[in-house]
Amino acid sequence: MKRVLLTAALLAGFSVVHAEDTLKKIKDSGTITMGVRESSGLSYTIGDGKYVGYHIDVCEQVVRDIRRQLGLSSLTVKYQPVTSANRIPLTVNGTVDLECGSTTNNAARQKDVAFAVTTYVEEVRIAVKAKSGITSINQLNGKTVATTTGTTSVQTLRKHERANGVDFKEVFGKDHADSFLLLDSGRADAFVMDGSILAKNIATSKNPADFKIVGEVLSVEPIAIMIRKDDPAFKKAVDDSIKAMMKSGELAKLYDKWFLQPIPPTNTKIGLPLSAATKEAWANPNDKPMEEYAKK
């Protein structure tokens, strides 16, 4: 039977090499696995295996909608911690069904994975100690700059036109909390990363007033839930759920909850108002990579 199906698929011109039937896998197993982050701005842990954040809430609504679509009375959610370095491999190999972290949708990654419609448009910025005197890229010459292994932020900084002739040393944290610690402890003069991640780590630090976000916006990047490639039925299920949240105003409520209200574990406000670019992404849902944003 499998041989007949394979032949039919090949005759129909479909690629069956990477094709997945995630909805069937979820229905048969009664479980769905969410990829979660330990210290991202959109997904982080508050201990005891509990994960919270804007993208966690988005994914949990997606899971509820998928459960209803599949006619399941219950659906077990498994949380799989991922890092910037392993999130793509774990999505590709089927370990993770929904990667609910803070992943930039770009053309290179689209060769390996798919992305749901954009839920947040990020601005890459620089965090420094408030008393450092650093206010822009050109003041990083001779300094040490931290970023997180597996992210694109330092490459983005190097490519920025204002960084021409600026020579700095790179140090890498294993995750965002580790990178922030490099800044906090004085082992780095700056931490380059997504603005939401910088703001969250500052807001939940012991002394938020000791830090500030400065300088030019290094890049504008669409952030989205990551899923396996070549599974149109699953992508449609995820996209339809997120589009419904956009239309109903639920996504705006979740944004307000996580960016403008006090958040756990310290009940501190991140204080990042909704940007025009994120509003536009909600008004016109799309899965365009960051290269499309750069053209504007």
* pLDDT of the chain, 296 residues: tens digit per residue: 434 444 444 344 433 334 579 999 999 999 999 999 999 989 999 999 999 999 999 999 999 999 999 999 999 999 999 999 999 999 999 999 999 999 999 999 999 999 999 999 999 999 999 999 999 999 999 999 999 998 878 888 888 878 888 999 999 999 999 999 999 999 999 999 999 999 999 998 999 999 999 988 898 999 999 999 999 999 999 999 999 999 999 999 999 999 999 999 889 899 888 988 999 999 999 999 999 987 65
Q: Are strands 120-129 and 211-223 parallel, antiparallel or unpaired?
A: antiparallel
pLDDT of the residue at 14: 38
Could you tell me the pTM of the whole model?
0.83
Asked if 190 and 99 count as a contact pair (C-beta separation under 8 A), the reply is no
Q: At which residue do the structure tokens 């290179």 appear? A: 108
> How would you classify residue 71: left for phi > 0, otherwise alpha for psi between -120 and 50, otherwise beta?
left
Rg (CA), the chain: 20
pLDDT of the residue at 295: 61
Asked if 272 and 121 count as a contact pair (C-beta separation under 8 A), the reply is no
DSSP, collapsed to helix, strand or coil, labels residue 192 as strand
Instruction: Please classify residue 147 by burial: count the beta carbons closer than 10 Å to its beta carbon, then call 0-12 exposed, 13-18 middle and 19+ buried.
Output: buried
Q: Which fold would CATH assign to domain 123-220?
A: D-Maltodextrin-Binding Protein; domain 2 (3.40.190)
Q: How far apart are CA 145 and CA 182, in angstroms?
A: 9
Beta bridge pairs of residue 190: 128, 145
Domain boundaries of the chain, sorted by first residue = 18-119+224-294, 123-220
Q: How far apart are CA 267 and CA 208, in angstroms?
A: 12
CA distances from 131 to 64, 120, 134, 189 (A): 46, 31, 8, 11
pLDDT of the residue at 157: 86
pLDDT of the residue at 19: 54
Q: How far apart are CA 52 and CA 66, in angstroms?
A: 20
pLDDT of the residue at 160: 87
| Counts for the chain of helices (H) and strands (E), in that order | 11, 14
Q: At which residue do the structure tokens 């190097």 appear? A: 158
The CA angle 172-176-179, to the nearest 5 degrees, is 40
Q: How far apart are CA 107 and CA 211, in angstroms?
A: 33
Q: At which residue do the structure tokens 């916006």 appear? A: 217
pLDDT of the residue at 266: 87
Structure tokens at 228: 């396996």
User: In 124-271, which ranges are continuous DSSP H helix?
Assistant: 153-159, 176-184, 195-203, 232-248, 250-259
What is the architecture, at CATH level 2, of domain 18-119+224-294?
3-Layer(aba) Sandwich (3.40)
pLDDT of the residue at 9: 40
Domains 18-119+224-294 and 123-220 share a fold: yes
Q: At which residue do the structure tokens 């998928």 appear? A: 66
What's the full length of the chain, in residues?
296
Q: How far apart are CA 60 and CA 52, in angstroms?
A: 10
DSSP, collapsed to helix, strand or coil, labels residue 269 as strand
Asked if 107 and 152 count as a contact pair (C-beta separation under 8 A), the reply is no
